[in-house]
Amino acid sequence: MQDGKNLIMAIVLCLLVVVGWSYLADYMGWVVKPDPAEIAKMEAAQAEQAQKAQAEAEAKQKAQAEPLPAFTPAPGVDVTVDAPLYKAVLHSGGGVLRSFELKKYTSGLDEDSPRINMVDPQTAAVAPLGLVINGQPSWSTGKWALESDSGVTVAEGGKGVVRLVGEVDNLRVTRELTFNSENYLISEKVSLATLGTDTRSVRVRYTVAADTSNAANTNYDAMRVAWDNGGSLGEETSTDKLTKEGVEASGKLYWAGPMSTYFLSAVMPGDADEARMVGRMQGSVYRVALEPKEVVVAPGQETTLEVSYWMGPKERKMLAAVSDQLALSVDLGMFSIIAKGLLWLLEFFQQYTHNWGLSIIMLTIVIKAVFWPLTAKSYSSMEKMKKLQPMMSNIREKYKDDKEAMNKEVMALYKTYGVNPASGCVPILVQLPVFFGLYQALLTSIELRHAPFITYLPGTDLIWLADLSSKDPYYITPIIMGITMFLQQKMSPPATDPTQQKIMMFLPIVFTALFLSFPSGLVVYWLVNNILSIAQQWRMGRRSKLLAQYPQADLSGEPAGWFANLVPNSAGPVGSRPMTA
């Protein structure tokens, strides 16, 4: 009996301790209460998980109760899409391209030259525009049916749609391809739905390809695999590497595909993040496959992916209208801002001349006029250095055993006569960005492809400068360019060092050999620039001689300071003597 009382008292005491401790701890602030925001967050997460589980369960029930509409595969047929800029043929058995002819571009200069075909028979054999789903090529392992007409005409200002439905890897796949009339962009929506009752992860890989026939296969127009990774252009031109190893890239891939200097076959995923690209060369065909991150397809639901393709010329305005990233496929080099400005001027002149060769000549004249003062300053500096040569020879002879004293006296000579030895080089260095910008602009401008200047050699029926993007077939312009360069060297003040003189006289031969294979548009620019430089040097040399013969002659019409007399500022250094112009 006593034990029972003790047990009851122990229980009561325990309850008093527990309850009392709770009140005491709460009163004293010893217990930390849960944050209401954290509690709400946890409850929301639990509710979301519960809803997700319930949605999956309902989706499974719905998929079992309401299966996807019946699908009946059909034999593959060719579907023709006739647009103002191109004519495309694709196969309904997966949507792969069989042909893609460009109506505005031909492979040669002859009137009967065939059109450029972005998908020739060699390229069609590797199924460009085909989808690889979970590693399975949809055009060979899937079953397909055409839900649109087999002949689609895209009217000016309109669009045309080709719709295909198929089953691949237990997935219902719908391809809706939209063809534009105003550019070479193909937009696509890929819809995925599982035929089973389980949620699936799906990887979709998009493919493009191009044959080497899309390029002239020269140093200035070669095929390559290219891609844009986070706004940076990547390229691989080595056929050995592409054949043996291939090339891979991953990251934020805006586009990828094979391209030449003037044409591009590219795929642009709707979601560029975490994408992966693989490029290879198979025979004469450059192949590229791009795979964005995988997607989840739940039963009873449809997942839609977006992707676009560019199949056509690299026309800058069209590319820029699609995306800034795609416009980077026209590589204008590190001086792209200058190149864009020069191209704008070139197109401006073309509106009036209607001849790209004449437009290049006018652009060259404008560039020469802008840099005329700098060139004159460089020539004047070289003339001054030439007149200082006798005194410099005396100093070198006198201090041939003391290099430090020699350099000191030479610098004093420069200071005395107000000559800056670098002033002859600086104007040339300033002009180099313009030259490189123009070089890249002319080299990559598709407007110069098959653009004529002087179609026939004068007095003959021989085709001459009928394509400013290709070399002079008879090497006439590069040889004349070499001659003008030699004359320019002869007219320029010779270098003070005999070794430099020999190198300078050898340069025209080197440049002539180099320019033999240059696009004729670039050669025309260089040739006209040389002729203008010769005219400028002749004019400056003539004025300089007049000033030497007639110091009091009125040359007020000339720009001030161009032909100033070379008069010492003070007594010359050791070994020097006063000198007049």
pLDDT (tens place) for every residue of the chain, 581 residues total:
555 555 456 555 655 554 554 555 455 544 445 566 666 666 666 666 766 656 555 555 554 445 667 777 788 899 999 999 999 999 999 999 999 999 999 988 887 889 999 999 999 999 999 999 999 999 999 999 999 888 999 999 999 999 999 999 999 999 999 999 999 999 999 999 998 888 899 999 999 999 988 888 777 888 999 999 998 999 999 999 999 999 999 999 999 999 999 999 999 999 888 899 999 999 899 999 999 999 999 988 899 999 999 999 999 999 999 999 999 999 998 888 999 999 999 999 999 999 999 999 999 999 989 888 887 777 777 777 777 777 877 887 787 777 888 888 888 877 777 777 666 666 677 778 888 888 888 889 999 999 999 999 998 999 999 999 889 999 999 999 999 998 888 877 666 566 766 777 788 898 899 899 889 999 999 999 999 988 888 887 777 666 666 555 554 444 444 344 444 444 444 444 433 33
The amino acid occupying position 390 is: P
pLDDT attached to residue 110: 82
Q: Using the structure block, give the residue that is written with the tokens 């360069």.
A: 485
pLDDT attached to residue 44: 67
Token pair for 126: 């590797």
DSSP conformational letter for 70: P
- CB-based contacts of 203, cutoff 8 Å, min separation 6: 133, 134, 135, 291, 294
pLDDT attached to residue 18: 47
Judge if pTM exceeds 0.95: no
CA distances from 527 to 114, 238, 338 (A): 33, 33, 21
Three-state SS string over 323-365 comes to CHHHHCCCCCCCCHHHHHHHHHHHHHHHHHHCCHHHHHHHHHH
How far is Cα 523 from Cα 530, in angstroms, rounded to an integer? 10
How far is Cα 427 from Cα 431, in angstroms, rounded to an integer? 6
- In the three-class reduction of DSSP (H, G, I as helix; E, B as strand; rest coil), residue 132 is classed as strand
pLDDT attached to residue 314: 95
The total of other beta-carbon atoms located within 10 Å of residue 265's CB is 27
pLDDT attached to residue 559: 46
pLDDT attached to residue 580: 37
pLDDT attached to residue 398: 80
Q: At what angle do helices 336-353 and 356-370 cross, to 10 degrees?
A: 130
Determine contact, residues 266/257, Cβ cutoff 8 Å: yes
How far is Cα 263 from Cα 446, in angstroms, rounded to an integer? 9
